[in-house]
Amino acid sequence: MKTVLSLENVHKSFKVGFIPKKKEILKGISFSVGEGEIFGYLGPNGAGKTTTLKCVLGLIFPDRGKIEIFGRPHLEPKAKERLGFLPENPYFYDYLTAREFLDFYAQLFRIDKNEREARIASLLKLVGIEKARDLQLRKFSRGMLQRIGLAQALINEPSLILLDEPLGGLDPLGRKEIRDIIIRLKGEGRTVFLCSHILQDIEMICDRVAIIIGGKILSQGPLTDLISERILFTEITLSGLDPKELAGLGESLSAQGGRTLIKVFREDKVQEILDLVKNRNAKIHSLIPRTQTLEDLFVEMVKSQ
């Protein structure tokens, strides 16, 4: 797989406080992003995710280390021609309409007028705000601003798209639509670098992830390699049994509306519960084996630091 973005032993410090003291934010991070993949970059607030992005984009400069985009030094203008970027908190000129805003950015890339109009119409439809094309951005909701920001990041048809918390401020339907767009971009052969704290979304769409905590990357690789498929416990929802009959078989989580939810950690106990349900003519409503999730892995790593 061809590498489109690579970081090698990148360090970055800032001076903070009234009497400036040096604080190291990035402590020698290294990873690479392959062509045509969705790469998830995870970490709690203050871990260094946005600092990493700013270093990649040349908005700030690392103290040391090597960054390459498409095999070129990251500060070369040629390296950035095929980049698209959506910051976490985008700020746009309030009195431009959605169409005017995208037209402005298209002109920065020297796209001719006819092509600009076609791209703008296509992108507004892609992000689901074509009906708001003539609405000023000051009247946009947070979710709509995220959508127009994503359209802006795609106006130059980039090969590598850097997205910093693109799902923030969106309702569940909006998050699904943006996820679908990201998957579509991958289907077109583009590469997506996705910073997000919404672990469920990362787990659903990313090919590989890197987890950064305290300025260090603690784990990276394909999700299938990072997350164990071993069953951690089984959740069973049942009715027709007195919760007291389940004592010793598992951890009872709740009992309401005639139904009991129980968490069972041993496989042999699952069979005991099934036999008990059969013998008492009770009813199983759901039986869900729970394997390790990305959230489990992430929380475990954060707690260990």
Q: So where are the chain's domains?
A: 3-226, 231-296
Instruction: Write down the pLDDT at residue 171.
Output: 81
Most confident of 108-112, 125-129, 166-170, 189-193: 189-193
Confidence of residue 67 (pLDDT cuts 50, 70, 90): very high
Q: Is pLDDT of 52 > 90?
A: yes
| CB distance 163 to 7 below 8 Å | no
CA dist 11 and 135 (Å) reads: 43
- Give the model confidence (pLDDT) of 100-129 as tens digits: 999 999 999 999 988 999 999 999 999 989
- CATH fit for domain 231-296, picks 3.30.70, 3.40.1130, 3.40.50, 2.40.10: 3.30.70
Confidence of residue 253 (pLDDT cuts 50, 70, 90): low
Q: Is pLDDT of 303 > 70?
A: no
Q: Is pLDDT of 243 > 80?
A: no
Q: Which helix (H) or strand (E) holds 301?
A: helix 294-304
pTM: 0.80
> Pairing between strand 191-195 and 38-42?
parallel
CA dist 211 and 219 (Å) reads: 5
Which residue type sits at 115? E
Q: Is 117 exposed, middle or buried (0-12, 13-18, 19+ CB in 10 A)?
A: middle
Instruction: Write down the pLDDT at residue 156.
Output: 93
- Give the model confidence (pLDDT) of 5-45 as tens digits: 999 999 999 988 777 888 899 999 999 999 999 999 988 88
pLDDT-wise least confident of 141-145, 216-220, 289-293: 289-293
Q: Is pLDDT of 138 > 80?
A: yes
Q: Is pLDDT of 250 > 80?
A: no
Nearest-CA neighbor of 42 among 303, 295, 300? Answer: 295
Instruction: Write down the pLDDT at residue 249.
Output: 80
Q: How many CB atoms lie within 10 A of CB 299?
A: 13
- Give the model confidence (pLDDT) of 279-294 as tens digits: 888 888 888 887 767 7
CA dist 41 and 213 (Å) reads: 11
Please determine, looking at this structure, whether the domain spanning 3-226 carries the CATH number 3.40.50.2300. no
Q: Is pLDDT of 254 > 70?
A: no
Give the dihedral of Cα atoms 241, 247, 253, 259; nearest 10 deg. Answer: 0
